[in-house]
Amino acid sequence: MAKGRGTLELAYLSFDVLEPYRNDPRYHFRYWDFGVDMGIGDDAYLDETELERDKISLSRLGFAYDLSGYTRTDVNTPIVRRVAAFYGDIAKLTPEHQQRWQSYQVAEGDLEVHPAWWMTQMGHWPDGIGPFDHLFQELENLNVLWTGAFGEALFKHTDRPQDLGWLLRPSQREWDEFIVQLDKQLSDNIRHDALDAAGALRQDKNDQNLGTTLSRLAAFLEGKGIDAANVKDLMRPLRKIRQARQKPAHALRTNITDKTFVHRQVALLEDLNNALTELARWLSTHPKNRG
């Protein structure tokens, strides 16, 4: 800033600059689809034994992308995601944290800031929502529609956990943790009571227990006359997440770096949201949901 950088000029940083703040319980860390807020919590801020250098906050961090190697239809192509921060905001950090952030700084290169984040920073309303907001909006929609049709909410909760968001680094461990969190919002979150209220069976035609909520939901949809192939397509992303969660639970995993994890996360959320939207569209045709 002293050398002439503008307050609203952007510095770009490696995404893992955020990792210590997400993992440190002293800080509140909240994901948005297009950015992040983080800051020292009240208890730590008021604690005289905490170092003054660590009492910091940043609330306007955005995301920037290098899509030069990206092909939308090929999940094996990389998406490079960076943190975008205004120089005027970084200048307000303590000197120790400024030095740390500078060590993560990267060249601008082919980076472009996310347009929705940039619109909000420039005082405009963003057009549309991101995939995580879309996911939890669909969970709310499904609860309303299931309640309207059968008198019970389908999901136990529809609030987004603050730490559920984009991978901070493209590693196997980050991917596995994301999958576990996501499955907790889906198969673990479906209420058996809601399936009972809809008349979903607990056993198949061979008197075998269906067991999981996903199996009961699939059998229920087929029982309502939906083509088996369509049900399979609808359930595929939900089952994919469930199966991916079971892999780290039953095997020793090597923590590897794979730049395609970022793209795979985007593609998985897109498929999942499409499936939930189709389920909501079908539920909206129920006679009790005409309004």
State the pLDDT at residue 169. 86
- Report the amino acid identity of residue 16: D
State the pLDDT at residue 252. 54
d(CA 22, CA 13): 16
State the pLDDT at residue 133. 95
pLDDT (tens digit per residue) in 162-172:
889 999 888 89
- For tokens 């807020």, the residue is 37
State the pLDDT at residue 28. 95
* Average of per-residue pLDDT values in the chain: 92
The predicted model gives 140-150 an average pLDDT of 97
Question: Phi first, then psi: what are they for 164, rounded to 5°?
Answer: -90, 115
Question: Phi first, then psi: what are they for 139, rounded to 5°?
Answer: -60, -40
Domain ranges of the chain: 10-121, 131-289
Chain mean position to CA 201: 32
pLDDT (tens digit per residue) in 186-234:
999 999 999 999 998 887 777 778 778 999 999 999 999 899 999 999 9
State the pLDDT at residue 170. 87
State the pLDDT at residue 251. 59
Instruction: Please give the full DSSP string across the chain, using - where no structure is assigned.
Output: -TTS--TT-EEEEEGGGGHHHHH-TTEEEEE-SSEEEEEE-HHHHH-TTS-GGG--EEEEEEEEEE-TT--TT-TTS--EEEEEEEHHHHTTS-HHHHHHHHHTEE--TT-EE-HHHHHHHTT---SS--HHHHHHHHHHHHHHHHHHHHSS-SBS--PPPTT-SS-SS-BHHHHHHHHHHHHHHTGGGB-HHHHHHTT--SB-TTS-B--SHHHHHHHHHHHTT--HHHHHHHHHHHHHHHHHHHHHHSS-----B-THHHHHHHHHHHHHHHHHHHHHHHHTTSGGG--
CA neighbor of 206 nearest in space, from 219, 193, 194, 196: 219
* Helix 228-249 with 260-283: angle, nearest 10 deg: 140
pLDDT (tens digit per residue) in 222-279:
999 899 999 999 999 999 999 988 876 555 566 677 888 999 999 999 999 999 999 9
pTM of the model: 0.88
282, pLDDT greater than 90:
yes
The residues that bridge with 106 in the sheet, in sequence order, are: 12
